[in-house]
A and B are shown apart, each in its own frame.
Chain A
């Protein structure tokens, strides 16, 4: 690329961000320096809590209370934005430096049409008549690929899908032809196919407009798809910077190596199960779940899960995979169809019988912290199933909780802690400990690793495999992440709009996908390797 000879457009010099508290000040970002050349695309990669968002907000001087920039400079176009007047900042924000966020819906005004909001954005920085601005809004929507733009300017944000909303946000961001676009996890909330389209759009816009992009993400593969330069951030510091290929192939810092090692890619050697799959344990037959609103979440789905195997269920958000797993667990009643667990029809059981059956089938949910009662100790949480199903004494529970904590790799001292005193990954270990407390035969993992960072995800996946081998668990592994499902499950089903479009072994699905949807899904996954090779 020809960006090397271009001038620096944005330069952070030893940026420090801290929290202003009544007590001693706490530092969140301690000395971040980076440069962005005109038209360059750089990624700031880091896990949650690494301070990457704090850096991006500091560039715009939009630090949320009580954080403040404590030292350093943000040089943009020869000026230091840290010391610039509020008037100058207002001109810069949106006009010269624009920003897009993870959640477009919360950034759009729900009671105004997107056209009106686009016109407002255009006129905020340009002397232009309302009529011309209106025409410009339509042009912008067309440019970002919103179909039927002339009609859709009259629509409200809620009438757009997640991907389309993000396009609207992008249109707004580029409306004044900014020099720099800061994109803070813009595709994290989107499905993989939508993500691919948004990344392609950003790529095209940046190319056409010579716009520099600072792309904030936790996902190395996404960064690799769009950016040529990578800054790896951890605990408020940039630990490694370099050209994409260099960082990915010859990482220097231990953390970068760890991060790269933890990413589950499609070519990763999958887990080999220690136990052979036996007879059928769970059998779903022609399940239909229709909601009162007329939505059919699960449409005539049948599948079999064999004893001792890990069965994968993959699909994008809204595909009905969570509803299906609820039905399989008997937590939700189907409109029609049956679920047989070990030969017993779950929906023929009485309430009490079904509850007793729960000791054989457990679930780990997506939100690690939210699925724990915040006012109970870890000991109470993990011990509850033992109290409910076995009437275990306090002493017996205490001993068993200590064993379980050890089994999931948490120190015994955690028994007295509350969920909010633990990190997301630690909470998920507590959830797993609770789920295996009764030594169930069947474990449903409903997006169990989706909400944790990649390094923690790798650790949890190892823990799950280890537990599965040790306890001989049968698992239903539900995820939107194809690479993770491929890694964990020798057999899987692909769900799309409430239907299972394809079921097969790992090899069949990933090497020779038959259904068109599976193919588009596979094509959309960002990969680390293609970029390095190219």
Chain B
């Protein structure tokens, strides 16, 4: 977009669109997202955690190597995050726990996204009783407190990681479905969908090839919040001893272990706690910033 420039265009030319007249969810979305400093910071924080978890087996010290002489050590050059009650390197342990925590969150989010989007899409595409039934079921499901249901599930079936991931995903699906439905409905009401009907494009093709990509940004915003929710859920369950069980460790497990040794080492619980806080803050920021770019007002 350029400023209106007198004499630059021929008398026949049309004035260019005014600045700020651009569409909300246009193709420049990613560019506008990364033009926001908080968004960049959040993505960087999250990327560091993911990289740390990914390189742990190759690049960091062993997470299981015991050293009785250096237990409860404060952060040092050799152990940047300090050590635990058995002298294991906390940075490595935290990074390893990140594999579980982030993996759980990613898996649950993916399940929520696939199930929720399908759920919402069908509801939006089939107004009438199908929509009614699907949405009332979603509302009923939303009424179940997530933590309570997870506790009951773990108590009944044990803390199997895969099963827990699926349950967490399914618990988050109804909210995703509602958001998917409203995003798709908004798109379906727009003129371009009407234009596609007139062209003779089938509903299925319209939904998947044209509408869904347009609804994706708001779904991604929700997905980033879902990741945060599932991180929190896992940490909570593990902290009360119902989640990941030792010798496996997640951030929540480490926090619990560290919390029990609070008087021996402040660093032990502090490091996993900081990571959980930072990750959730980063994810919320990403969701927030995505929303702002989507529904930007003015700036």
Contacts and interface: CB of A to CB of B under 8 A. Distances in A.
- Chain B contact-residue range equals 35 or more
A434 B23 CA distance: 21
A358 B194 contact: no
A431 B199 CA distance: 11
Contact of B14 (A27, A254, A258, A456): A456
B198 A329 contact: yes
A21 interface: yes
Contacts of A49: 4, 15-18
A362 B191 CA distance: 15
B200 A420 contact: no
A359 B200 contact: yes
A357 B197 CA distance: 12
A431 B26 CA distance: 18
A370 B12 contact: no
Contacts of A419: 23
B22 A420 contact: yes
A79 interface: no
Contact of B199 (A30, A66, A254, A388): A388
Among A28, A237, A258, A373, max chain B CB count under 10 A is at A373
Interface in A431-446: 431, 434
A51 interface: yes
Contacts, number: 118
Contact of B15 (A235, A371, A375): A235
A385 interface: yes
A48 B191 CA distance: 21
B51 to A, nearest CB: 31
Interface in B14-71: 14-23, 25-27
A373 B214 CA distance: 9
Interface in B203-247: 205, 210, 213-214
A389 interface: yes
Interface string A408-440: 000000000011100111100001001000000
A419 B27 CA distance: 10
B196 to A, nearest CB: 8
A68 B245 CA distance: 62
Contacts of B26: 374-375, 418, 420
A19 B3 contact: yes
Among B3, B5, B8, B18, max chain A CB count under 10 A is at B3
Given A258-B11, A363-B198, A26 B192 contact: no
Nearest to A355: B200
Among A372, A376, A384, A431, max chain B CB count under 10 A is at A384
A423 B14 contact: yes
Contacts of B145: none
A47 interface: yes
B201 interface: yes
A372 B195 contact: yes
Nearest to B14: A423
A495 B12 CA distance: 34
Contacts of B192: 370-374
Contacts of A19: 3, 19
A426 B15 CA distance: 11
B188 to A, nearest CB: 12
Contacts of B127: none
Given A49-B4, A431-B195, 16 more contacts: A47-B15, A235-B8, A358-B198, A365-B195, A367-B191, A370-B192, A372-B192, A375-B25, A375-B27, A384-B199, A384-B201, A418-B26, A420-B17, A423-B15, A426-B14, A455-B12
